[in-house]
Amino acid sequence: MNIRTRLTLLFVLLVASIVLLFTVSVYYLYDQFREQEFQQRLQEKAFTTIRLREDVGEVPQADLPVITNEQVTVYNKRGVVLFNQGNQRPRFPVTPDFLRKITLRQPQYVRIGDLEAVGVLHLNSRGEVLLIVASGNDRYGLTKLDRLREILFSGWLLSLIIVGIAGYLFATDALRPVAELITQVNAISATNIHQRLSVGRQRDELADLARTFNDMLTRLEEAFVLQKSFVSHASHELRTPLTVMMGQIEVTRLQARTTEEYEVAFDALLDEVKSMIRLVNGLLELARANSDIVTLNYQPVRIDELLWQAQSLIVSKKPAYQIDIDFDNLPVQEEDLVIVGEESLLQTAFQNLMENGCKYSPDNRMSVRILFMPGKIKLTFSDHGYGISQSDIAHIFEPFYRSESTMTISGHGIGLALTQRIIELHHGSIEVESTVGEGTSFRITLLTSSPLKKQVLQSGEPMSSNS
Ligand code: ADP
């Protein structure tokens, strides 16, 4: 069932219930009023009859108010009929119980079908107790009641039809902006993702919905553009070494070479292949870290051990690099050295920062300082190298970004993007501070106490988690 039909039905049901309640109340109140009025008339009839009988000695039929099937019966206190006026055959079944109730000096009312009766008690001038029962049909009252019922019922039905039509038109009108939104959203695809929905001048929920859609489209467009530029940058980075390699092979093949010359050419090719492998590995790691659901294999990791390992791996590859590791203070407990995270990813992040520090310093030297604080560890990777300009600092964490001033130094511009994502995955933070010509410091903060750490330490098992 669509929303329009549901709204219409709901509207009809609501109004039908309210009008029905009102109709039933009117009918009930009118019936009460008619009953009271007829009781009054029967009571007057009873007293008039007994007064005429007592004072005049007879009751002239023509002088009395006419009630359909009227009957007035006078009983003595033992229930013996003294006088019967109206229908000669008593039609209303008067029970001894009814008479007894009248003796309690209460006017009594009873209704059997259309026939209604009132019983009253009268004390005549001789001190005799008389019980008078007046009965009859309230033909006019009941006819009016029937008519009222018909009017109310047909009015109710008519109101249902009117409300149904009005509800349908109202729902159609209310949902028109939604239908327009659907048409606009359907018209947006990858080719025109820059298009936005018209919000209109109203400040209502639908305008909010359109605004929310537009925000989502902006995010999608950004991701889309980023994805496109990522692919084109990656292709470009791969094409450059391939072109270089092709040129080297072509030049080498131009003439017959000595063994030494071939060796030099192969070494150059090998360097290019290694550089490509580094790039492809970096790209793969970045893609893994950036995928929507990253499964991290959390386990307890000692930060100091990780840093020493990263240092020795880099130095074994590039012996010219010098990396100093300093502890500002030592933790009281060994547990404060431990964080939970994925060792291989953290290793990659630390290696990137250490390598950059050495790579972008003329003396190939950098240092790492470790500061233990309650619940966290602060790591500062600093160098006295070329530094980064303020305009470049805003972009260095973007994939493939390389500052103009360092273009002569080999690199692909994905190390810092990957490092930032890794630190993010470990719920840490990374900041950079740099002065051109003086050096650069990257500050990383990682938490040493977290609910996840307690969980991992208690279970004693590595724990997988989606982030
Ligand atoms: P890559 O080093 O492969 O170019 P990164 O993503 O690691 O890629 O770094 C991006 C850019 O940031 C570098 O090209 C460089 O210009 C700048 N950069 C990073 N670290 C440093 C540093 N320690 N000193 C100076 N510049 C740096």
Which of 296-300, 353-357, 376-380, 439-443 is predicted least confidently?
296-300
Residue, of 453 and 247, whose pLDDT is higher: 247
Residue, of 53 and 268, whose pLDDT is higher: 268
Q: How far is the CA of 75 from the centre of ligand 1 (A)?
A: 120
The kind and range of the H/E element at 129 are strand 129-137
Q: How far apart are CA 464 and CA 467, in angstroms?
A: 10
Give the mean model confidence (pLDDT) for residues 390-411.
91
Residue whose CA is closest, atom 12 of ligand 1? 396
Q: In terms of C-beta density within 10 A (0-12 exposed, 13-18 middle, 19 or more buried), how is residue 110 classed? A: middle
Q: How confident is the model at residue 360 (pLDDT cuts 50, 70, 90)?
A: very high
Check pocket membership of 439 for ligand 1, CB cut-off 6 A.
Answer: no
Q: Are 119 and 107 a contacting pair, CB within 8 Å? A: yes
Listed in sequence order, the residues at least 6 apart from 337 whose beta carbon sits closer than 8 Å to its beta carbon are 302, 303, 304, 331, 372, 377, 448
Q: 177-200 burial string, b = 16+ CB within 10 Å, else e? A: beeebeeeeeebeeeeeeebbeee
Give the mean model confidence (pLDDT) for residues 124-138.
87
Q: What percent of the chain has pLDDT over 90?
A: 46
Residue 267 has pLDDT above 90, yes or no: yes
Q: How far apart are CA 188 and CA 113, in angstroms?
A: 73
Check pocket membership of 415 for ligand 1, CB cut-off 6 A.
Answer: yes
Residue whose CA is closest, atom 23 of ligand 1? 357
The segment with the largest mean pLDDT, out of 60-74, 97-111, 336-350, is 336-350
Check pocket membership of 412 for ligand 1, CB cut-off 6 A.
Answer: yes
- Alpha helix locations (H) across 139-191? 139-186
| Phi then psi dihedrals of residue 225, to 5 deg | -65, -40
Sort strands 376-383 and 439-447 into parallel, antiparallel or unpaired. Answer: antiparallel
| Strand, coil or helix: 131 | strand
Q: How far apart are CA 291 and CA 50, in angstroms?
A: 103
Note the pLDDT tens digit of each residue in 232-256: 888 888 898 899 999 999 999 999 8
Q: How far is the CA of 220 from the centre of ligand 1 (A)?
A: 28
Check pocket membership of 388 for ligand 1, CB cut-off 6 A.
Answer: yes
Q: How far is the CA of 393 from the centre of ligand 1 (A)?
A: 10
Q: What is the mean pLDDT of the chain?
A: 87
For residue 249, the model assigns a pLDDT of 94
Q: Are 415 and 351 a contacting pair, CB within 8 Å? A: no
Check pocket membership of 356 for ligand 1, CB cut-off 6 A.
Answer: yes
The kind and range of the H/E element at 111 are strand 108-112
DSSP secondary structure code for residue 65 in this structure = P
Q: How confident is the model at residue 177 (pLDDT cuts 50, 70, 90)?
A: confident
For residue 91, the model assigns a pLDDT of 67
Pick the atom of ligand 1 nearest to 397's CA.
Answer: 6
DSSP 192-226: GTT------S--SHHHHHHHHHHHHHHHHHHHHHH
Q: How confident is the model at residue 465 (pLDDT cuts 50, 70, 90)?
A: low
Give the mean model confidence (pLDDT) for residues 371-377.
90
Give the mean model confidence (pLDDT) for residues 276-281.
89
Residue, of 217 and 66, whose pLDDT is higher: 217
Q: Which pTM value belongs to this model?
A: 0.60
Pick the atom of ligand 1 nearest to 442's CA.
Answer: 23
Distance of alpha carbon 404 from the chain centroid: 47
